Structure 1
Amino acid sequence: MEYSMEQIDKYFDIFDYIVFAAMLIVSALIGVYFAFFAKVKQNTTSEYLMGGKSMGIFPISMSLIASYISGISILGIPAEMYTYGTQFWMIIASEGFVSLAMAYAYLPVFYQLQITSSYEYLNLRFNQTVRLLGSVLFLTKMLLYIPIVIYVPALAFSQVTGINLHLVTPVVCIVCIFYTTLGGLKAVVWTDTVQTVIMFGALIIIIFMGTASVGGFSELWSRNVAGDRIDFFNFDLDPTIRHTFWTVTIGNFFSWMASCSVNQAMVQRCLATPSLHSARITVAVLVIGIVALESMCSYMGLVIYAFYYKCDPVTRGAIHKSDQLLPYLVMQIAQTMPGLAGLFVSGVFSAALSSMSTGLNSMTGVIFEDLIKPRMKKPLTESHASFLMKVVVVIIGGTCVELVFVIEKMGAALIQASGSLGAITGGPLLGIFSLGMFFPQANSYGALAGGLISGALITWISIGTQMKMAQGLIRFPQKPVSVEGCNANWIAEYLSLTLSPDATPKPVQPPFALYRMSYMYYTALGTVTALTVGLLVSYLTGSNKGKKIHKDLISPAVYRFMRETSDIQVTGSADTSGKIELNTVT
């Protein structure tokens, strides 16, 4: 197969713009419906943040799937397969275990307490200071994550339309802020549902067309085998290898536990269902959907390699980095199907919008419940509280739009660093919550020390690693690429060129061992550090001797292992309202 090395000059046509505009209009109208036309208006705290706790399994499941698959995943996973091979695909092996742990160890605690913010738990189990630490960690993560989620698909949109991202980013974000502000959780959930359908539809069509364009599945697979892309079971135990079976399964287990089990976005949606049984079914559907989407994105990486296996677009300068591979492929195969490019960009932006709307709604819940409400001298009326939360959404949304342009100035280095961003906050938070739920002897001193030291450690490792990578002292072996199939305009000396970054000489003095550790282990290390430090400090400060801990604050998974002693007593159950008073640990 011969490829042109010229840039693709086909941009969006009228059908593409119609498809993309329709997605935005439908999203906005959903917000208008729940604000003005729904039977139950979004003018109370319960309705605005929790959907009245009456949401169905299907929309909540679709919302969670859309929330956890961002534009970064849709563009980044195919690029990962193309560049490094299929080992990362094995992250799906651990996600079933995460769903079981979440459904039976963590979720019952939140459901029994019926709290709006997951960080209320930290106040109930420890104290207000630990709660504040958890809230700040979550808000920091989301304020950095949301702009990246929007920036990445904006780049793809700019690539396939020629429209400057400075124009499209505010427009798309304003639509998201609009429906999130007006419609609350119900609008977010139902727009996420529509956007999930768009994501699935776009990926399925592109997969079938891409597979057909390379001659079918057999030809696709043989090309990837010949290109050394098929690599599922590397059982090397070396923790410094970027991706092995162990790093992606063990590392992803802790990463997903941190993202799902104690994350405000997840807890808020699960508690919006009418029963714990419904919440557990929701989690099961979520895992099935995530595995399907991740597998489709991974398969797209194989499609891309099979399409360009003899003429790498990055090497020949058609695109600048691997994250642009999927949009570049779509624009080539879209020439035979009007509207396909618009559907693809709608799918990428749907993933981004769902992540943004979920982030705005969950951040609003945390700010209102954890930062504003405890400091109000008089309780707010429901109408005033609803209005205040809408103002908070607008302020946060505007801040995120501003930060998108800061992200742009920082360039690709920050995008690459975003993979370890979640671990900086995720590991400490998972450790703190696990201390409270599984270890009755853990006290507030231990939780605070464990969270701070864990966060500092992962931050140090993450920043140090990025600095060493920028200096060229840490490199990851990539799979070979070729340009021997490019057309005759290609420069003669590059014909039959096969690039292998692994051939770069290794530094004489290797970086510090923790800098060379696979980033997939960051969350696991953060969690273990928080637990170890937390238990040690708790022991040194007297644990919880002589104190009573409410039974509902401990996970049912450890009931059988606990013994009531004269030092620590686990007592009681929630009252008929499902609530327990603050400062239960006395």
Structure 2
Amino acid sequence: MCVKDTKTAKRVVWINYAMNVVLQILLACVGCVIYAKYSQCDPIKAKLISRSDQLYPLFVIQTLGRFPGFTGIFIASILSASLSTISSGVNSIATVIVEDIYKRISIARPMSNERQATVSKVLSIGLGLFTIFLAFIVSYMKTNIMTIVLQIFGAFTAPILGVYLLGFFTARVQSRSALVAFTLCLTFQIWIAVGSTVTVKPPNKQGGLLPTSVVGCMQSVNISVPMSKNQNYNPLISLYSIAPTWFVFNGAIITLLLGLIFSFICDSKYPKIVDKSLVITRDDIFSCCSSRKEVMKLTIAQKYNGISTDNTMIEKESMLKT
């Protein structure tokens, strides 16, 4: 909606995708570097920090602290990225509430621009205070905040992605099958997220975390090792120990498979009629690659205008193939 045409919007989406891939690769490299530094001297086990999301700031302080200015640049980058993300999120939520909820229940219609601006400002202030309150609550939690975010994100967005893939790649699935698949996957994802949060996992089941030790610490570290107790074996411990980064992938695949299964069971009697206006080709998706083909077709079509009408259709088809 912010660019001039659909083709430019597609290019923006592909550029955004490429930049996100680069960002994820850089984040993975940062994680590998931090693990290489602290794998033999775990700061959490050494009681230097209390939570795993404090590893990155500790790494910056210990590694870049000897270079003047680098720590300040890191803090400024984190604060600027956080404030911009929070402000845009708060404003987006306030806009959605005004457009989809407040306008529908409001008696005064139509709403004036001044009233909309006032309501949006009040909602932004309230949502901002609520965000600060949530941050205050999270500061007392022992669980890594990124783990919680990934679990919530995977639980609620994976079914939506699965339904989108169903509509994008299949022509057989009806709305009823998609709704059943969405509901079952959402229930399963929430169950796994809650179970992985409240279940105490054994040391060898830590949700994809790599092993660490304190043998490489320079100074002696006192570690309290809890006595092993005979606990009842939980058959679902392997399911609850899935890494949160797999939540989105697992949920999308589950929704896709359930939708296809229910489509064969419930939608078999529906005729397979597809509206041609809803079908797109590969050239429509990869618009950057298709623009050159369109130019070539246009050039060939212009050459046709100069060809005499005595030429046969076979000669035209041979020229098109060429």
Q: Deviations over 1:230-259 (max 9, x none)?
A: xxxxxxxxxxxxxxxxxxxxxxxxxxxxxx
Letter of the 2:143 partner, please give it.
A
1:402-431 deviation per Cα after TM superposition (whole angstroms, max 9, x unaligned): 222222333326653332221111111112
Please give the secondary structure, in 1, of the residue aligned with 2:205.
Answer: coil
Residues of 1 paired with 2:93 and 2:145: CA distance? 22
2:100 to 359, 362, 370: 370
How far, CA to CA, are the matches of 1:394 and 1:464 in structure 2? 34
Deviation for aligned residue 1:399? 1.8
- Which residue of 397, 402, 407 maps to 2:128? 397
Residue equivalent to 1:478: 210
1:489-568 residue pairs with structure 2 within 5 A? 490=220, 509=233, 511-512=235-236, 514-534=239-259, 554=278, 556-557=280-281
Is structure 2 residue 135 aligned with structure 1 residue 411? Answer: no
Give CA-to-partner distance per residue, 1:517-543, whole Å, 9 cap, x none: 454443233223334444565666668
Aligned length: 278
Matches within 5 A, 1:30-109: none
Q: 1:505 to 1:354 in 2, by over 3 A?
A: farther
Q: Which amino acid aligns with 2:211?
A: K
Match of 1:287 in 2: 17
Q: CA separation in 2, counterparts of 1:481 and 1:276? A: 53
Amino acid at match of 1:434: L
Q: Which whole-Å CA distance do the structure 2 matches of 1:361 and 1:548 have between them? A: 42
Matched, 1:355 2:78: no
Tell me the CA shift for residue 335 of structure 1: 4.3
Instruction: Find out whether 1:425 has 2:156 as its counterpart.
Output: yes
Residues 421/506 of structure 1: CA separation in 2 closer, same or farther (3 Å cut): farther
Match 2:50 to one of 320, 325, 348 = 320
Q: Which residue of structure 2 lines up, in the alignment, with residue 138 of structure 1?
A: none
Q: Which has the larger radius of gyration?
A: 2
1:463 aligns with 2:194: yes
Cα offsets for 1:335-373 (capped at 9, x unmatched): 443332221112122332233233223323433343334
TM-score, normalised by the number of residues in structure 1? 0.40
CA contact (8 A) 2:155 2:186 kept: yes
Task: Give distance in 1, aligned partners of 2:217 and 2:282.
Answer: 60
- Equivalents in 1 of 2:230, 2:281: separation in Å? 47
Q: Is the 8 A contact 2:53 2:145 kept in 1?
A: no
Pairwise CA distance, 1:453: 1.7
Deviation larger for 388-397 or 448-457: 388-397
Pair 534,329 (structure 1): closer, same or farther in 2 beyond 3 Å: closer
The structure 2 residue matched to 1:446, chosen from 155, 177, 189, is 177
Aligned to 2:4: 274
Partner of 1:299: 29
Distance 1:374 1:443 in 2: 29
Gaps of 5+ in 1: 1-270, 561-586
Deviation at 1:278, TM superposition (A): 2.3
Paired residues of 1:438 and 1:558 also in contact (CA < 8 A): no
Q: Structure 1 residues 477 and 454, CA, compared in 2 at 3 Å: closer, same or farther?
A: closer
Q: Distance in 1 between matches of 2:40 and 2:125?
A: 49
Deviation at 1:505, TM superposition (A): 11
Q: Greater relative contact order: 1 or 2 (C-alpha under 8 angstroms, separation 6 or more)?
A: 1
Matches of 1:340 and 1:322, distance apart in 2 = 22
What secondary structure does 1:298 align onto? helix
Q: What code does the residue aligned with 1:418 have?
A: V
Q: Within 2, Cα distance between the matches of 1:547 and 1:341?
A: 61
Which amino acid letter does the alignment assign opposite residue 353 of structure 1? Answer: L
Instruction: Quote the offset at 1:507 in angstroms.
Output: 7.7
Q: Return closer, same or farther for 1:443/1:431 CA change in 2, 3 Å cut-off.
A: same
Q: CA RMSD in A?
A: 4.1
CA distance in 2, matches of 1:474, 1:317: 21
Give, in whole Å, the separation in 1 of the partners of 2:152 and 2:21.
22
Stretches of structure 2 that go unaligned for 5 or more consecutive residues are: 285-322
Q: What whole-Å deviation, never above 9, does each CA across 1:166-213 have from its counterpart, x for those lacking one?
A: xxxxxxxxxxxxxxxxxxxxxxxxxxxxxxxxxxxxxxxxxxxxxxxx
Kindly, what percent of the aligned residue pairs are identical? 25
Whole-Å Cα distance in 1 between the matches of residues 115 and 4 of structure 2? 26
Q: Matched residue of 1:379: which SS?
A: coil
Give deviations 1:557-577, integer Å, cap 9, x for gaps.
Answer: 5999xxxxxxxxxxxxxxxxx
